[in-house]
Amino acid sequence: MRVLILGAAGFIGSHLAQALCRRGELRLADRGAQAISELVLADNRIIMNVPDPGLHMTVRTVQGNVCDPGFIEALFASDVDAVFHLAATLTLDAEMDFSHGLEVNVHALMRLLEQCRRQSRAPAFVFASSISTYGGSLPDTVDDHVAQTPQTSYGTHKAIAELLINDYSRRGFLDGVGIRLPTIVIRPGKPNLAASGFFSNILREPLVGQEAVLPVSRDVRHWFASPRAAVGFLTHAAEIDTAQLGWRRTLSVPGLSATVGEEIEALHRVAGDKAVKLIREEPDERIIGMVAGWPRNFDARRAASLGFTAESSFDEIIRIHIEDELGGRIGG
């Protein structure tokens, strides 16, 4: 089985690659469990954390631009059995550069779908969508029946992709599943161009003794899951029987609804006063305006009934970060 991850240098992509190497197989609904013979990791950045594939798998890294048709075509020189599409330009970048955001998030996706269509056998296709496809005036709890009215270019791009994956799946060109990822915390590394990045920053930096800026008020409520849960969503999506999805191929997966204040309270329970005092409140009207239109809570019973699971407390999310990224230790 040949498996492709686009966006493999990112933190979710790198965690997914490690998980697939540990598993060594995928159980696709239409063909049962099969060993992964080749795992192709593609990104526009150098992939630094290449996992150990063991004896029975080849891991190949490929650096290139998803906007380059030749790069996409080369990835499909041999048929691909499963595709995990995580590559995207993020919220603030897509807002600042409309043309670039559209090229990466929509036009490149369309070329990727066309390569899948040209294969001799339709691949499993797992797409990382986002809860940012919802926006504007929303009910307190959003389910899969609520109309998508994104308030950012990034959210619009993700909604377009969901519709395309629905149609390509309906036509039998691929077997697609979209996952509307909650905001994933705690992201390792440094702040990025995701408008939601501060949700991670106010936990990640204080846990290692560094200051963090909070640009919104503490009563802002949002929808969260851990990187560990995100990897579980993606691998499970590749393996579910898609006949259960009907005509709605994208799922809002389980998560945890919490306020920024509840995040900080959990940080206090886990790391104490010293960590909390490193959070500096500096309101940013641009971020405040974006966050105001985001959903706060989801009814994810549809995904839960299909076996998707996530954390139930922010303490658990913080402890996962300490275990997986900090070697079990906190403090600067």
Active site positions, annotated: 154
Count of beta carbons in the 10 Å neighbourhood of residue 120: 5
For strands 2-6 and 32-35, give the pairing.
unpaired
Alpha helices in the chain (DSSP H): 11-23, 69-75, 91-96, 98-102, 108-118, 153-170, 198-207, 227-239, 260-271, 273-276, 285-292, 301-305, 314-325
| Amino acid at the residue 265 | E
CA angle 141, 204, 134 (to 5 degrees): 25
**DSSP track, 277-289:** TTEEE---HHHHH
Alpha helices in 79-197 (DSSP H): 91-96, 98-102, 108-118, 153-170
- Report residue 171 CA to chain centroid gap: 26
The pair of three-digit structure tokens given for residue 127, joined into one six-digit string: 């797409």
Strand-pair partners of 223:
257
Q: Can you tell me the distance from the alpha carbon of 161 to that of 169, in angstroms, rounded to the nearest whole number?
A: 12
Number of H helices, E strands in the chain: 13, 14
State the angle between helix axes of 227-239 and 314-325 in degrees (0 to 180), rounded to the nearest 10.
Answer: 90
Terminus-to-terminus CA distance in the chain, angstroms? 44
- At residue 261, the 3 state secondary structure works out as helix
Based on C-alpha coordinates, what's the Rg of the chain? Answer: 19
